[in-house]
Amino acid sequence: MSKMVTIYGGSGFVGRYIARRMANEGWRVRVAVRRPNEAMYVKTYGVVGQVEPILCNIRDDASVALAMKGADAVVNCVGVLNEVSKNTFDAVQADGAGRVARLAAAEGIERMVHVSAIGADAESNSEYAQTKAAGEAAVLEHMPNAMILRPSVVFGTEDQFFNRFAGMTRLSPFLPLVGAETKFQPVFVDDVAKAAVKGVLGEAEGGVYELGGPEVASFRDLMKVMLDVIHRRRVILGMPMFAARIMAGVLDIVKFVSFQLFPNNILTRDQVRNLGRDNVVAEDAKGFEDLGIEPATLESVLPDYLWKFRPSGQYDAIKDSAKNLRA
């Protein structure tokens, strides 16, 4: 019988790519999510019955344990960028990660891959970064041989980075940025999936791997690359950090007084703290080179999905070539 992997958060941005690759490896895949009825598309990643979405709440022991019953490996991709209701940073990224590892160890599962993030730091002033670090520590406490992946900002077809800012260019001649000079090392989502698969298959040793693409660039320069790809001109405005903190504080207050009816998906104080520090691979960190993976460049991927934000969408290239025609 083929082996089975349970992927917590397997219908999310990174998780779906891992699920697809594990199905291609011939494994049975359980995609553990809060709303399996909204994750039915993962069933198409394999043959009939190979990939199945199942109900799971990472905050509940029984739910997490049931999802991994009989599995040979587990992958945890669950994380939040913004706290909503009971899904707080601590409950999801610290306690949730530790819960998966603790129950996997009790189940006798030998392999675990945990997706964290560059910047995970117990001493950080950001709760997001603190809980990412706490989650890593909890995973290693129960699964010392686990593979921990720390990607920089992840890009790809469904990303909420380039897609978000490209969408903003349709609404305004200005592109406001918080932390415009902060450096990032964008990594293609499928390269992160390749790394995770190596961990599940036992083709890479455990430990922490920091994953970044070939390019290191400031937030401002990344937006210039994006604007070039979508054939638009916009004025990039670097927002002073003090102004960003005031704006985020007001939005957080509105979220609180509205009892989270306004979820504040715009800008939070914690996000401002994170945007104030570089998000690049450390010089002494293990990474793609140690895994034998050559990461994709921005220019080889961005045009494949950002074309829809061009002034004429898929016809923009045709219009450009038509300008060169002579009567």
99-155 pLDDT per residue, tens: 999 999 999 999 999 999 999 999 999 999 999 999 999 999 999 999 999 999 999
Q: Where along the chain do its domains lie?
A: 4-157+186-214+279-297
Please, which pLDDT band fits residue 57 given cuts at 50, 70 and 90? Answer: very high
Residue 323 — very low, low, confident or very high, per pLDDT cuts 50/70/90?
A: low
Encoded tokens for 135: 């989650």
Q: Tell me the mean pLDDT in the region 69-80.
A: 97
State mean pLDDT over 226-255.
96
Average pLDDT over residues 175-190: 97
Q: Which two tokens stand for residue 47?
A: 């043959």
Backbone φ and ψ of 150, nearest 5°: -115, 90
Q: How confident is the model at residue 78 (pLDDT cuts 50, 70, 90)?
A: very high
Tell me the one-letter amino acid at 114.
H
Return all residues near 248 (Cβ < 8 A) that are at least 6 apart.
267, 268, 269, 271, 272
Report how far residue 218's alpha carbon sits from residue 182's, in angstroms, rounded to the nearest whole number.
5
**Is a pLDDT exceeding 80 seen at residue 24?**
yes
Q: Under CATH, what is the fold of the domain 4-157+186-214+279-297? A: Rossmann fold (3.40.50)
Give pLDDT, residue 26.
Answer: 97
Residue written as token pair 């070039």:
228
Q: Cα 28 to chain center, whole Å?
A: 23
184 - beta bridge partners?
217, 279
pLDDT of residue 282: 96
Mean pLDDT throughout 242-251? 96
pLDDT category of residue 321 using cuts at 50, 70 and 90: low
Mean pLDDT of 287-293: 97
pLDDT (mean) for 244-258: 96
Residue 115 CA neighbour count, 13 Å, CB half: 31
Contact 192, 269 (CB under 8 A): no
Evaluate whether 157 touches 307 at the Cβ level (below 8 Å).
no
pLDDT over 60 at 199, yes or no: yes
- pLDDT for 102 equals 98
User: 114 near 135, Cβ under 8 Å?
Assistant: yes
Using CA atoms, how far apart are residues 59 and 116, in angstroms rounded to an integer? 17
